Amino acid sequence: MPFLPEDFVEWTLLISFLLGSLMFLGGGLMGCVENEVFTTFKSTQGWWGAFLNTLGGLGFTVGAVLGFFHGWDYEANFAYGIGSVIFALGSAVMILMWKDEQFGLTFLAVLNEGPPSILTNEEELHKAATFSKSGTIFIMIYCLAAALSVYCLFITLTLIKDHHQTLKTAVSISNAFNAFLPCLFAHLMLALNSAVIKTPKMSPFKQLYIMARVLAIFMVVNSGSRMIEGVYLANWEVHHPESPFLTSGHNIAGHCALAELEGDTLGGASKGS
C-alpha cells in the first residue's frame, strides 16, 4: 500500500502476525487440556493431534516474536517453516481421526469415545462406510496440491506489479490463473470424496477416479517444482541485487528460468576464465 507509511505497514504486519500466532498457540493449549496432554500419555490420535497443534502454534509464535528484531528475518522464517510442517502433521492426524469417525477431532474429546457412529454387526459393511488407507493418503495429497497451487499463484502475481505493458500484464494474469487451477481441481476432488469414499467399481467411473488421483500427483510435482524455482530465484535476487531476475521482465511461468539462470552463470564464468 504505497499511500500508507512504511513503518505503519511494518508494525501492523508484525502485530497481526503475533496476535494470530498467539491464537494458534492458545487453541493448541486448549486442545491439550481437552485431551489431557499435560496429565496423561494416552498416545491416542486426539492426544497427538493436540500436541502437534500446540507445537505448531509455538513455532509460529517464536517466528512472530523474532520478527520484531532486525537481522533475525532468516530465523523468524525458519521458525514459521518448522511450525508449518508441524501443523501439517497435526492436520494429517485429524484427517485420520475423521477417517475413524472421531468427529470431535482435537476439540471435543468426548465425541471420540465409545463405538463409531455406524453401528453394525457386519464388519465388511462398516469398512465400506469409511475411508480406506489409500483414500486417506489422497485426501492429504489433494490438500498439498491446493496449498502448493496457492503458493505458485502468489509467486506469479508478483510479476504483475512491475509490468507497465497491457500485454505482459494479461500474460501474467493468465499464468496466475493456470497456477490456481490445481487448487480448484483439488477442492473439487475433496468435495467428491465427501460423497464417494471408495473407488467406484463400474467403468468408466473407476478409470476416471484413478486418473484423477494420478493427475493430482503430477500437479503436486509440477507446482512443487515451480515453487522451488520461484524461491531459488527470489533468493538469487536477495544475494545479487545488481542482476535481478524476477523483476526484470522474465516470465517464470513461460520457461525454465532456473535453467536459464544457471546457464547465464556458467557462461559468465567461462568467459571470465
Is there a single domain that holds both residue 187 and residue 273? yes
Domain end among 85, 106, 126: 126
Q: How far is CA 161 from the centre of its chain?
A: 24
Question: For residue 94, what is the enclosing H or E element?
Answer: helix 73-99
The amino acid at 73: D
Which of 2-16, 23-37, 115-129, 178-192 shows the lowest per-residue confidence on average (mean pLDDT)? 115-129
What is the pLDDT averaged over residues 165-176?
76
Higher per-residue confidence, 53 vs 99:
53
Q: For the beta carbon of residue 28, count every other beta carbon within 10 angstroms.
A: 26
Domain end among 76, 111, 126: 126
Check residue 91 and give its pLDDT: 82
| Contacts made by residues 13-19, CB under 8 angstroms, sequence distance 24+ | 14/64, 14/67, 14/68, 17/63, 17/64, 17/67, 18/61, 18/64, 18/65, 18/67, 18/68
Q: Tell me what the pLDDT averaged over the chain comes to.
A: 76
Check residue 65 and give its pLDDT: 93
Is there a single domain that holds both residue 73 and residue 1? yes
Is there a single domain that holds both residue 140 and residue 269? yes
What is d(CA 261, CA 200) in angstroms, rounded to the nearest whole number? Answer: 46
* Domain with 259 in it: 131-273
pTM above 0.75?
no
Count up the domains in the chain and report the number: 2
Is there a single domain that holds both residue 120 and residue 137? no
Closest of 97, 106, 99 to residue 51, by C-alpha? 106
Is there a single domain that holds both residue 140 and residue 15? no
Check residue 129 and give its pLDDT: 54
Angle between helical axes of 6-34 and 45-66 (0-180°, round to 10): 160
Is there a single domain that holds both residue 146 and residue 269? yes
Check residue 267 and give its pLDDT: 53
Check residue 61 and give its pLDDT: 93
263: pLDDT strictly greater than 70: no
**pLDDT tens digits for range 204-260:** 888 888 899 899 999 999 988 888 887 777 776 666 666 655 555 454 444 445 445
160: pLDDT strictly greater than 60: yes
Is there a single domain that holds both residue 151 and residue 244? yes
Is there a single domain that holds both residue 154 and residue 259? yes
Give, rounded to a whole angstrom, the gap between the first and last alpha carbons of the chain: 46
What is d(CA 84, CA 196) in angstroms, rounded to the nearest whole number? Answer: 30
Contact status, residue 189 vs residue 181, Cβ threshold 8 Å: no
| Burial class for 197, CB neighbours closer than 10 Å (0-12, 13-18, 19+) | middle
